Amino acid sequence: MAADLILQMFNDMRQAQLALPGVTDASKELVNYLISDPLRRARQRRETNSEAVMALARAKIGDQPTIPSDEISETNTRPILEATMDDDRKEFQEIWACLLAKTATGHLRGFRREFIKTLRSFEPIDLLVFRYLYGVTSPVGPNKYCNIDGIIKFVESASHESGANIYRNEIEISLSHLTSLNIFTKPSNSIGIERLASTAYGAQLYTTAHSN
């Protein structure tokens, strides 16, 4: 909607300039300031984001053989490429690079397009909590409900060891969001989020979006 409005404004102003040959250079500068320059900067940011992710993806591919380009699904690749361009959060660049590397080497098994929408709804703290709780030493597992207080203490400890330093309130908010995304689940008779377990969706997302 916003993009359509900007384009319509741009077209209207261009038509006005054509209809009024005497329009001043100042109005042209205004067009550049309001429309052309922001669009140019946005395009440059997208290119910068893509270049950073592509460099990471090439490093992950290394000497691995890649599959022929005509065997790569454009349907799967398009949302990943869009994410690499639109998301400038460095915490997520490794995720997009990993997905691109797996795409190029034919290892993108279990991928679902909604994974991209889910990941793009993460905040950086959600990514940290997600990684801590699907890591090797995680206290949660499929159908293994863990007390929320124990989960929070685990994440707090892990974050302090890594230097991320996140605290209880932040973790509780993150867990609520991740539960709403089906990354974690809670028993139907639970009040609030007193206990949580991992889900098949969360486990597959973690496996797909992280390097082996």
Output the six-digit token pair for 21.
């040959």
DSSP string, 56-99: HHHHHHTT-----GGGS-HHHHHHHHHHHHH---HHHHHHHHHH
Distances (CA, A) of 138 to 56, 134, 143, 145: 27, 6, 14, 12
Sort 63 into a burial class: Cβ within 10 Å, 0-12 / 13-18 / 19+: exposed
pLDDT category of residue 70 using cuts at 50, 70 and 90: confident
- What mean pLDDT do residues 78-82 have? 87
Q: What is the pLDDT of residue 147?
A: 84
Choose between 42 and 146: higher pLDDT. 146
- What is the average pLDDT score of the chain? 79
Is 199 in contact with 183 (CB distance < 8 Å)? yes
pLDDT digits (tens, 9 = 90+) for 117-176: 999 999 999 999 998 888 766 666 666 778 888 888 888 988 888 888 899 999 999 999
Q: What are phi and psi of 146, to 5 degrees?
A: -120, 140
Q: Report the share of the chain in percent with pLDDT over 70.
A: 71
Per DSSP, the three-state class of 23 is coil
CA distance 39 to 35: 6
- What mean pLDDT do residues 16-20 have? 47
Whether the predicted pLDDT of 14 surpasses 90: no
What is the b/e burial string over 116-152, where b = at least 16 CB atoms within 10 angstroms of the residue's CB?
A: bebbbebeebbbbbbbbbbeeebebeeeebbebeebb
Reference 64, options 201, 166, 212, 195; nearest CA is 212
- DSSP-derived letter for residue 198 is E
> Directed axis angle between helix 168-180 and helix 124-133, to 10°?
80
pTM of the model: 0.73
What is the helix (H) or strand (E) element at residue 178, kind and residue range? helix 168-180
Determine the residue type at 168: R
Q: What is the pLDDT of residue 180?
A: 95
